[in-house]
């Protein structure tokens, strides 16, 4: 039962326990779907002897990692944990924005490859149906509806109040503002993705060259350490970590722009040890859209830089 202090702190409060359980179950379902996708990438090559046969282990890892996040936050949401609400809100925003970009790229890809994506073309009928309808439809449902609903729900003051009343302990997500937590998680996930470069022979674009092998692993290790520092330092509201985030973002943008202006995507993916059959598929269906991909990349860099500038206010008030 609510105490008088709680009633004053949360006027007109509506308990959202049921909604937290429902959203938690949906998150677990999304996690299971991601896990099934990772499993599909493992099983698919053994079921189909075609051009998509060799799936890189990095692709499997990138599908499995979101599964862990969705399932863990889903369980936390069912238990009305404060940290689960904060993580669900921040991650939903991140995946929503990233997913919209991927969805746009997917639609552009489909509209420009209508002739190639036909049952009479090179791809079989079942793969054509999946590529043209099921994948874009599923992405639209997940990113345009489910994740948008998560953002609205977990951002509600009633949901925040429900979690704080049912989970009164101060959690780690309460120790920095949510906008800063988003920065910390973004660069922390970036460190994890950089670690996954090991599945791609440590191939890393570097100011006009593609480093790989030992040189790539050293560059990746330096990046991981820098990203790890930014993730930790921004969480601690250290202004030096904020500046480091700005420098890393600018350096990444310059490095990628210079490298991709001198090195073809074919050479990059070849350095990443993609199977020849996958390289042929990407050469036919993805590489023609390079200019649009580059445009999305520039927009992404501008958005990241703009968000960092917005988040600086939290560091300025804490840096004294």
Q: In this model, does residue 127 exceed pLDDT 80?
A: no
**293-320 average pLDDT score:** 82
Structure tokens at 68: 């862990």
d(CA 283, CA 293) in angstroms, rounded, equals 14
- pTM (2 decimals)? 0.80
Question: Which one is predicted more confidently, 173 or 278?
Answer: 173
Average pLDDT, rounded, for the chain = 80
Ranking 112-116, 184-188, 208-212 by mean pLDDT, the lowest is 112-116
Q: In this model, does residue 5 exceed pLDDT 50?
A: no
Specify the pLDDT at position 95.
Answer: 83
Specify the pLDDT at position 147.
Answer: 85
**Cα→Cα distances 103→95, 100, 138, 308, Å:** 12, 5, 10, 24
Helix (H) / strand (E) containing 190 = helix 178-195
Q: If 0-12 CB within 10 Å is exposed, 13-18 middle and 19+ buried, where does residue 163 land?
A: buried
d(CA 270, CA 293) in angstroms, rounded, equals 18
List beta partners, residue 204: 211
pLDDT above 90 coverage of the chain, percent: 39
Specify the pLDDT at position 193.
Answer: 85
Question: Which one is predicted more confidently, 250 or 288?
Answer: 250
Q: Are 27 and 73 in contact (CB under 8 A)?
A: yes
């Amino acid at each position: 039962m609510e105490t008088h202090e709680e009633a004053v702190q949360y006027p007109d409060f509506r308990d959202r326990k049921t909604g937290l359980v429902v959203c938690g179950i949906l998150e677990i379902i999304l996690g299971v779907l991601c896990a099934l996708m990772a499993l599909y990438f493992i099983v698919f090559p053994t079921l189909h002897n075609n051009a998509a046969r060799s799936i890189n282990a990095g692709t499997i890892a990138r599908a499995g990692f979101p599964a862990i996040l969705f399932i863990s936050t889903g369980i936390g949401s069912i238990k009305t944990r404060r940290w689960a609400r904060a993580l669900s809100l921040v991650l939903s925003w991140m995946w929503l924005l990233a997913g919209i970009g991927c969805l746009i790229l997917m639609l552009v890809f489909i509209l420009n490859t209508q002739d190639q994506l036909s049952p009479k073309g090179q791809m079989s009928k079942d793969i054509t149906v999946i590529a043209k309808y099921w994948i874009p439809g599923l992405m639209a449902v997940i990113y345009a509806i489910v994740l948008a609903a998560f953002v609205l729900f977990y951002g509600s003051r009633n949901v925040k109040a429900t979690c704080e009343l049912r989970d009164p302990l101060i959690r780690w997500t309460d120790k920095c503002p949510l906008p800063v937590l988003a920065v910390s998680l973004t660069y922390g996930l970036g460190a994890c993705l950089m670690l996954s470069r090991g599945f791609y022979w440590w191939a890393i674009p570097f100011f006009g060259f593609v480093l790989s092998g030992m040189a790539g692993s050293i560059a990746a290790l330096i990046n991981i350490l820098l990203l790890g520092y930014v993730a930790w330092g921004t969480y601690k509201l250290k202004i030096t970590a904020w500046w480091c985030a700005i420098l890393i973002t600018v350096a990444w943008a310059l490095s990628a722009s210079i490298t991709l202006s001198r090195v073809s995507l074919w050479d990059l993916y070849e350095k990443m040890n993609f199977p020849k059959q996958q390289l042929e598929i990407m050469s036919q269906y993805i590489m023609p859209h390079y200019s649009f991909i580059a445009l999305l990349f520039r927009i992404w860099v501008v958005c990241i830089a703009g968000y960092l500038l917005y988040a600086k206010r939290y560091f300025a008030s804490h840096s004294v």
